[in-house]
């Protein structure tokens, strides 16, 4: 005799909305980083003097330091563009996988998603180092990461 569940678990609306937002965000992240890996050889076409010339017209001391830090970050990002894109591709793919599993009401997806999102916060510091811009990025990224993880955690009891 086969047992048929009359009341299968229903996916809560909040979980559905979160998963759809994650499908969009992580999907774009996957595509963007595939493009980044494909385009990474083009970094060699950029003239290194471009960065030096950018400072020529900045005369204010504080503005100059700000621009120097931004340009230094840009140079480091360009030097590691393939590695950054590959790392982010893997983490966005993991995040997408986690969202798919949560959409199917599987708790494992929450842990995969959470780990991937937290690790994504530290990709820039690993390759570029900490500076004002990276710290601001971590701050704002952390807000959304914490918010989404907390909202997903609310739905953990609905998952297997």
pLDDT in tens, 72-86: 888 888 889 999 999
pLDDT in tens, 18-45: 999 999 999 999 999 999 999 988 877 7
Tokens representing 37 are 């890996």
pLDDT mean across residues, the chain: 89
Q: Are 101 and 22 in contact (CB under 8 A)?
A: no
pLDDT for residue 3: 63
**Of 9-18, 47-56, 63-72, 112-121, minimum mean pLDDT range:** 47-56
pLDDT in tens, 127-152: 998 888 899 999 999 999 999 999 99
Distances (CA, A) of 115 to 77, 96, 120, 138: 23, 12, 9, 15
pLDDT at 5 over 80: no
Q: Name which residue leads in pLDDT, 64 or 13.
A: 13
Share of residues in the chain with pLDDT > 90 (%):
63
Q: Are 111 and 95 in contact (CB under 8 A)?
A: no
Q: Directed axis angle between helix 132-154 and helix 61-79, to 10°?
A: 60
Residue owning tokens 């900490």: 130
Q: Tell me which DSSP letter residue 12 carries.
A: P
């Amino acid at each position: 005799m086969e047992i048929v569940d009359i009341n299968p678990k229903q996916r809560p609306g909040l979980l559905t909305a979160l998963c759809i937002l994650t499908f969009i965000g992580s999907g774009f992240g996957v595509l963007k980083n595939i493009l980044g890996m494909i385009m990474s050889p083009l970094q060699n076409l950029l003239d290194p003097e471009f960065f030096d010339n950018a400072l020529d017209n900045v005369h204010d001391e504080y503005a100059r330091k700000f621009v120097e830090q931004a340009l230094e970050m840009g140079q480091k990002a360009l030097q590691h563009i393939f590695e950054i894109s590959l790392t982010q591709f893997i983490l966005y793919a993991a995040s997408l996988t986690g969202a798919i599993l949560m959409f199917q009401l599987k708790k494992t997806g929450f842990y995969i998603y959470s780990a991937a999102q937290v690790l994504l916060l530290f990709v820039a510091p690993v390759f570029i180092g900490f500076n004002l811009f990276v710290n601001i990025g971590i701050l704002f990224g952390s807000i959304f990461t914490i918010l989404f993880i907390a909202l997903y955690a609310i739905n953990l009891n609905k998952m297997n």
